[in-house]
Amino acid sequence: MVIKILGMGCAKCKMLEKITQAAVKDLGADATVEKVDDIQKIMGYGVMSTPALVVNEKVKVFGRVPDLKTIRKYIEEEM
């Protein structure tokens, strides 16, 4: 599983990455978490506001940081 954090390194982007890493660890998921900060790649996902969470090439959320429970749900949906 590939999980991508789309964002330019803002505080919310860093928070989303931290919570996502915790969710992956909690679930014991076999996942790679990647940061994407290239604006062209971000726009390629149709995301106009960051941060955004992409799991297996599916945009799950953008423009806000969901809580740990919600991120776990997004990951479980793709397991």
Of the residues 3, 6, 13, 36, only one is catalytic, namely 13
- Asked if residue 79 lies in contact with residue 2, where contact means CB atoms within 8 angstroms, the answer is no
Concerning whether 10 is annotated as a catalytic residue, the answer is yes
Q: Is the peptide bond before 66 cis (omega within 30 degrees of 0)?
A: no
Active site residue 69: no
Neighbours of 49 (CB within 10 A): 12
Catalytic residue among 1, 2, 8, 10: 10
Q: Which residues are catalytic?
A: 10, 13
